[in-house]
Structure 1
Amino acid sequence: MHRPSSDEAEVAAELADVRPELAPRHAAELPGARAAVLTRLWRALAHEPLPWVARREPSRDGLTLRLSDGRRLHGPRADPYATAAYVTAVDLDGTPYDDPARLLTDLAVPHGAAFAAELGHSVASLALSRAGQEGHSKEWPVLEWEWEQRVVDGHPFHPNCRSRPGFSVAEQLAYGPEHRPVVTLGLMPVRADECLVTGAWPDGMRDGERLLIPVHPWQAEHVLKRPRDPYDTGIAAHPLMSLRTLALPGGPHVKTALSARLTSSVRDISVYSIGLSAILSDFAETLAARTDGLLHMTRTLGAATAGSPDLAAVVRESPQAYAGPGERVVPVAALATIKQSPVWFAEFTRLALTVGLRLLELGVALEAHGQNLLVVLSADGRPVRLVYRDLADIRVSPARLAGHGIPVPELSGRIVTDDVPTLRRKLFGSLVAGGLAGTAGSGAALRGALEAVVRDLPRTGDLAALREEPVPTKALSLMRLSPGTAGDQWADLPNPLVSEVF
Structure 2
Amino acid sequence: MLLTERALTADDATSTALLNCLIREVCGPEQQVWPDGGHLVARLPRAGVVLRTGLARPPAGPTYRLAPPYEERRGDAWIPASWDRLADLVAGELELATGQPNPEFLAQVGDSHGALDAILAARREPQDDRYLESEQSLVAGHRFHPSPKSRQGSPGEWLRYAPEARARFRPHWLAVRDDLVAEEGDPRAFAALGGPSVPGCRTLPVHPWQFSLLAGNPLLRDALARGLVRDLGPSDAEAVPTSSVRTVYLPDADLFCKFSLDVRITNCVRKNAWYELSGAVALNELLPEVFTALGATLLAEPAYRSVALADRRLYEGLGVIVRQGVKHLPGTPLLAGALADPYNTLLDDLPALSTTDGALAWWNAYVAQVAPPVLRAFLEHGVVLEPHLQNVLVCVDADGMPVHAAFRDLEGTKLTAGRWDLAHLPARVANGLTYAPAQGWNRVVYCLLVNHLTETAAAVADLHPALEPDLWKAAREHLARLDHHPQVRALLAGVPLPAKANLRTRWSRSADRGAAYVPAPNPLSAPRPL
Structure 1 length-normalised TM: 0.81
Could you give the per-residue CA deviations for residues 213-268 of structure 1, whole angstroms, max 9, x where no partner exists? Answer: 22212212234437998851335211111111111122111111111111111111
Matches within 5 A, 1:206-285: 207-225=198-216, 232-234=233-235, 235-251=237-253, 252-285=255-288
**Partners of 2:111 and 2:150 within 8 A in 1:** yes
Identify the residue that residue 344 of structure 1 maps to in structure 2: 362
Aligned length: 455
In the alignment, the residues of structure 2 paired with residue 113 and residue 218 of structure 1 have an alpha-carbon distance, to the nearest angstrom, of: 28
Residue 465 (structure 1) aligned with residue 490 (structure 2): yes
Matched to 2:520, the amino acid is: L
Identify the residue that residue 6 of structure 1 maps to in structure 2: none
* CA pair 348-437 structure 1, distance change in 2 beyond 3 A: same
Could you give the per-residue CA deviations for residues 172-209 of structure 1, whole angstroms, max 9, x where no partner exists? Answer: 43111122222121123334433431112323456344
Matched to 1:220, the amino acid is: F
Residue 427 (structure 1) aligned with residue 414 (structure 2): no
* CA pair 93-258 structure 1, distance change in 2 beyond 3 A: farther
In the alignment, the residues of structure 1 paired with residue 302 and residue 129 of structure 2 have an alpha-carbon distance, to the nearest angstrom, of: 25
Matched to 1:301, the amino acid is: P
Matched to 1:455, the amino acid is: E
Once the two structures are aligned, what percentage of the paired residues are identical?
A: 24
**Partners of 1:368 and 1:388 within 8 A in 2:** yes
What is the CA-CA distance between 1:278 and the residue it aligns to?
1.8
Matches within 5 A, 1:306-317: 306=307, 307=312, 308-317=315-324
**Partners of 2:18 and 2:86 within 8 A in 1:** no
**Partners of 1:188 and 1:212 within 8 A in 2:** yes
Matches within 5 A, 1:78-227: 79=59, 81-82=62-63, 84-91=65-72, 96=79, 98-106=81-89, 107-108=91-92, 109=95, 110-133=100-123, 135-136=125-126, 141-142=128-129, 144-166=131-153, 168-201=154-187, 202-203=190-191, 204-205=194-195, 207-225=198-216
| Structure 2: unaligned runs, 5 residues or longer | 1-5, 225-229, 341-345, 354-358
Of 33, 49, 63, 1:58 maps to 33
* CA pair 174-485 structure 1, distance change in 2 beyond 3 A: closer
Between 441-450 and 364-373, report the one with greater CA deviation.
Answer: 441-450
What is the CA-CA distance between 1:285 and the residue it aligns to?
0.8
Could you give the per-residue CA deviations for residues 101-120 of structure 1, whole angstroms, max 9, x where no partner exists? Answer: 33323543344442221212
Matched to 2:157, the amino acid is: E
**Partners of 2:11 and 2:83 within 8 A in 1:** yes
Matched to 1:179, the amino acid is: A
* CA pair 449-223 structure 1, distance change in 2 beyond 3 A: farther
What is the CA-CA distance between 1:317 and the residue it aligns to?
0.8
Residue 368 (structure 1) aligned with residue 387 (structure 2): yes
Identify the residue that residue 227 of structure 2 maps to in structure 1: none
Could you give the per-residue CA deviations for residues 390-425 of structure 1, whole angstroms, max 9, x where no partner exists? Answer: 1111221254569xxxx9985611321342x21221
- Other structure's SS at 2:141 match: coil
Matched to 1:74, the amino acid is: L
In the alignment, the residues of structure 2 paired with residue 191 and residue 90 of structure 1 have an alpha-carbon distance, to the nearest angstrom, of: 61
- Other structure's SS at 1:329 match: strand
Identify the residue that residue 318 of structure 1 maps to in structure 2: 325
In the alignment, the residues of structure 2 paired with residue 350 and residue 54 of structure 1 have an alpha-carbon distance, to the nearest angstrom, of: 31
- Other structure's SS at 1:469 match: coil
In the alignment, the residues of structure 1 paired with residue 132 and residue 29 of structure 2 have an alpha-carbon distance, to the nearest angstrom, of: 45
Could you give the per-residue CA deviations for residues 323-360 of structure 1, whole angstroms, max 9, x where no partner exists? Answer: 3xxx1011111213222323312320232111111111
In the alignment, the residues of structure 1 paired with residue 17 and residue 34 of structure 2 have an alpha-carbon distance, to the nearest angstrom, of: 20
Matches within 5 A, 1:12-91: 32-48=9-25, 55-61=30-36, 62-68=40-46, 70-76=47-53, 79=59, 81-82=62-63, 84-91=65-72
Between 333-342 and 82-91, report the one with greater CA deviation.
Answer: 82-91
**Partners of 1:83 and 1:157 within 8 A in 2:** no
* CA pair 224-93 structure 1, distance change in 2 beyond 3 A: farther
**Partners of 1:296 and 1:387 within 8 A in 2:** yes
Identify the residue that residue 334 of structure 1 maps to in structure 2: 338
In the alignment, the residues of structure 1 paired with residue 477 and residue 457 of structure 2 have an alpha-carbon distance, to the nearest angstrom, of: 19
In the alignment, the residues of structure 2 paired with residue 111 and residue 313 of structure 1 have an alpha-carbon distance, to the nearest angstrom, of: 37
Matches within 5 A, 1:377-392: 377-392=396-411
